[in-house]
A and B are shown apart, each in its own frame.
Chain A
Amino acid sequence: EDQVTQSPEALRLQEGESSSLNCSYTVSGLRGLFWYRQDPGKGPEFLFTLYSAGEEKEKERLKATLTKKESFLHITAPKPEDSATYLCAVPPTQGGSEKLVFGKGTKLTVNP
């Protein structure tokens, strides 16, 4: 069964304290890994797509990396406005459509 597991479930950081979020997956034949940010009361907002091991993508204080079995979202010197829930998702092993399987997310809180 395809699974996407995110850890930790919740993370509290002080402003400026760098850390990483983890997303591990069990799908076969990865066809991309997707990171989203979700603010309270809003829909998920697309951040990054990674397609192959070793690939990296950056946006402001966020950098996403990909290995064969997991992805990391590194947050460098975070600010309070980075507080959100971060979701990762992958297409399921059974292809034929543009569906995604989502992890349960990591809720990040950055204190000033």
Chain B
Amino acid sequence: NAGVTQTPKFQVLKTGQSMTLQCAQDMNHNSMYWYRQDPGMGLRLIYYSASEGTTDKGEVPNGYNVSRLNKREFSLRLESAAPSQTSVYFCASSEFLTYEQYFGPGTRLTVT
């Protein structure tokens, strides 16, 4: 039982490049989330998915897109990376109608 897994662990991009961050969970959770964590800013919600086939914007969605591929997988795409997107990205999941979220190990992204 791996919980929440994320790939890659580290990534360096040049401004304007695109990439997709992958997240998968094996806990049969309905809800999944993408956060970014920056020094002094705490965890901020980018997008979330309450169930397979649905996605909604969080606090800081600009510059990102998401896909809920199936119940297990939720990906985050940066279409044209900017230095302001340098951050640590966390994926999380939770059971339906509960607030206890379980987090992955994170992806450290640097955009130069």
Real complex partners, A and B? yes
Q: Which A positions have Cβ atoms within 8 angstroms of B?
A: 31-32, 34, 36, 41-46, 49, 87, 89, 91, 97-100, 102-105
Residue among B56, B101, B106 with the highest chain A CB neighbour number at 10 A: B101
Indicate whether A45 sits within 8 Å of B99 (C-beta atoms), given known contacts A87-B43, A104-B40, A104-B42.
no
Residues on A with beta carbons closer than 8 Å to the beta carbon of B44: 102
Q: Verify if B2 is at the interface (C-beta below 8 Å from A).
A: no
Q: Chain A's nearest CB lies how many Å from the CB of B48?
A: 6
| Residues of chain B with a CB closer than 8 A to A43's CB | 4, 90, 92, 103-106
- Cross-chain contact B103 with A44 (CB below 8 angstroms): yes
Inter-chain CB contacts under 8 Å: number = 57
Interchain CA distance A97-B32 in the complex, whole Å: 11
A45 touches B103 (CB 8 A): yes
Whether A103 pairs with B42 at a CB distance below 8 angstroms is: yes
Residues in B1-58 with C-beta less than 8 Å from chain A: 4, 31, 33, 40-45, 48, 50, 56, 58
A100 and B41 form a contact (CB under 8 A): no
Complex-state Cα separation, A8 to B103, whole angstroms: 24
How far, in Å, is A30 (CB) from chain B's closest CB? 11
| Cross-interface CB contact of B48 among A97, A102, A104, cutoff 8 Å | A97
- Given A99-B48, A99-B58, are A42 and B42 neighbors across the interface (CB < 8 Å)? no
Provide the residues of chain B in CB contact with A31, threshold 8 Å. 99
A104 CA to B105 CA, complexed, in Å: 18
A22 to B41 CA separation, bound complex (whole angstroms): 18
- How near does chain B come to A100, taking the closest CB pair, in angstroms? 6
Task: Assess the B90–A44 pair: CB atoms within 8 A.
Answer: yes
B98 (CB) vs chain A CBs: closest residue: A98
Nearest-CB distance from A70 to chain B (Å)? 17
Smallest CB-CB A-B distances: 10 pairs: A43-B103, A104-B42, A102-B43, A44-B103, A98-B31, A102-B42, A98-B94, A43-B90, A43-B105, A43-B106
